Amino acid sequence: ENTTVVIVGAGVAGLTLGTFLLRGGVDCVVLERRDRAYVERRQRAGVVDSRAVRMFRAWGLADRVVGGVPLEPVLHFRVDGEPRPFRYATDGHADGRLCPQQVLVRNLIDVFVSDGGDLRFEAEGVELADIAGPRPRVRYRDGAGVTRTIGCDVVAGCDGEHGVSRTSVPAGALTSYSREFGYAWLSVLADAPASRQTTMAIHDRGFASQFPRGPGASRCYLQCPLDTVVEEWPDDRVWGEIEARFGEPVAARGPITSKTLVPLRSVVHEPMRHGRLFLLGDAAHIVPPTGGKGMNLALHDAGVLATALRAWLTERDASLLETYSATCLRHVWNYQAYTAWVTDLVHDAGDASYRGAFRRRLARAELERLFDSEIAGRLFGEFLTGLN
Ligand code: FAD
């Protein structure tokens, strides 16, 4: 069996790439390890930034794939329990959408399948071969247990942080850069509406936040030590701690449906290409969830690769493909820098036990600068919208 591009992973990166390739007249097959119901229910990110919405619009897809309500140009900080709403200055915020990741994924699957796309769920044991040569092969077992092999021109590794694509690259060919922040977030999903689009608490008990995930649900985060035992956080303790850090009651205390511990870290693997294998999204880089950029970086990679592959395959112009890794890494490091800055800011300004009293005062000064300086506020707005 043969195709032009095999895409490993049907997350936001893989599905966006596949959908754009179909529109650009490029054949592809998407292989996904999980079943469709699992992929469509996986709840993670919640904001599609302005840059990403504009990208979907440029491909004629924004109305079909991006759901949700427009973003308000305000972040509701609570500092030491007091409200400090921060209205950011930007021309581009109106395009951003509060769109749960699984809504985007569901819409992308619908569009890809209805456009005639070849999407294969429950593809087990994916293995890549000959990625350094001109004709890679991808082997997997289908849902019936039959082993299949697909020959292709290009493999797109969109299989997330723990996928098979990056680990198929020979040792030493990629360089990894990473930073551990030294604390974690207890991340909970609740059947309880959020009081507003954002609540982000800076408090000496630690950072806390709440964001809507659709009309009746929300995701909350609580900064906590890396060795936190999730079982020691029953629902009442979670809500009580959130309210203590917010300095106000939450809109509603609903049942918590998921609790996980997320250690905060930043990772980049370079280059984002090895031979005919291209890495996208979490397979190539991880950001802490603080800046809301993980999903948006994955979408950016997909747009860059789709444009490059279309130029190469339909116009025989390889120049964009040659610069794929450099183009993406420039964007990725810019947003790594933003994410690291905002992560340090909201944590250091609160609980000083991690990085000390000096850093706490620096972070407080940086926070005040956002309110005092129109230019600082505008820069922050540029990053939030993804238009920097
Ligand atoms: P994924 O969405 O992980 O998709 C990878 C796909 O590959 C999956 O479907 C997986 O099943 C499949 N796969 C894996 N291995 C294989 C294999 N061997 N063979 C075949 N298929 C395979 N980002 C934001 O922008 N804003 C946020 O607020 C935000 N909050 C987050 C909260 C949490 C709790 C988490 C965990 C992440 C959050 N992120 C956020 C990050 C965001 O979810 C990711 O950056 C995004 O999902 C990356 O997309 P992706 O397509 O690269 O990878």
**129 CA → ligand 1 middle, Å:** 24
Residue 64: is it exposed, middle or buried by C-beta count within 10 angstroms (0-12/13-18/19+)? Answer: middle
Let me know: does 83 contact 40? Beta carbons within 8 Å: no
- Residue percentage of the chain with pLDDT more than 90: 93
314-323: per-residue pLDDT in tens? Answer: 999 999 999 9
Structure-block tokens of residue 275: 């031979």
State the span(s) of the chain assigned CATH 3.30.9.10.
181-265+349-385
Assess whether pLDDT exceeds 80 at residue 86: yes
Ligand 1 atom at minimal distance to the Cα of residue 260 = 34
Local structure of 6: helix, strand or coil: strand
Look at residue 226 and tell me whether its pLDDT is greater than 90: yes
What tens digit of pLDDT does each residue of 336-381 get? 999 999 999 999 999 999 999 999 999 999 999 999 999 999 999 9
Q: Which atom of ligand 1 is nearest to the CA of 101?
A: 43
Closest to 12 (Cα-Cα) out of 156, 186, 209, 169:
156
Q: Where in the chain is the domain with CATH 3.50.50.60?
A: 5-71+96-176+266-340
% of the chain exceeding 70 in pLDDT: 100
Q: What is the pLDDT of residue 67?
A: 85
Structure tokens at 146: 């039959």
pTM of the model: 0.96
Alpha-carbon distance of 220 to 382, in angstroms, equals 25
Residue 315 Cα to ligand 1 middle (Å): 32
Query: Among the CATH numbers 3.50.50.60, 3.10.20.30, 3.30.1360.10, 3.30.700.30, which is that of 5-71+96-176+266-340?
Result: 3.50.50.60
- Chain-centroid distance, C-alpha 112: 20
ipTM above 0.95, yes or no: yes
What does the mean pLDDT of the chain come to?
96
Q: What pLDDT score does 213 carry?
A: 85
- Over residues 187-208, the mean pLDDT reads 96
Q: What is the mean pLDDT of residues 64-80?
A: 92
Among 99, 96, 149, 143, residue whose Cα is nearest residue 121: 143
* Element holding 5 (H helix, E strand): strand 5-8
Beta strands in 160-231 (DSSP E): 175-190, 199-202, 208-212, 218-224
Q: Which two tokens stand for residue 101?
A: 């990741």
- What is the distance in angstroms between the CA of the first residue and the CA of the last residue of the chain? 42
**Residue, of 70 and 183, whose pLDDT is higher:** 183
For 181-265+349-385, CATH number out of 3.40.50.150, 3.40.50.280, 3.30.9.10, 3.40.605.10 equals 3.30.9.10
List, as one string, the DSSP characters of 108-176. HHHHHHHTT-EEE-S-EEEEEE-TTSSS-EEEEE-TTS-EEEEE-SEEEE-S-TT-STGGGSPTTSSEE
Angle between helix 356-372 and 324-348 (nearest 10)? 110
**Backbone Cα Rg of the chain:** 21
CA of residue 55 to ligand 1 center, whole Å: 19
- What is the 283 CA–ligand 1 centroid distance (Å)? 9
Q: Is the pLDDT of residue 90 over 80?
A: no
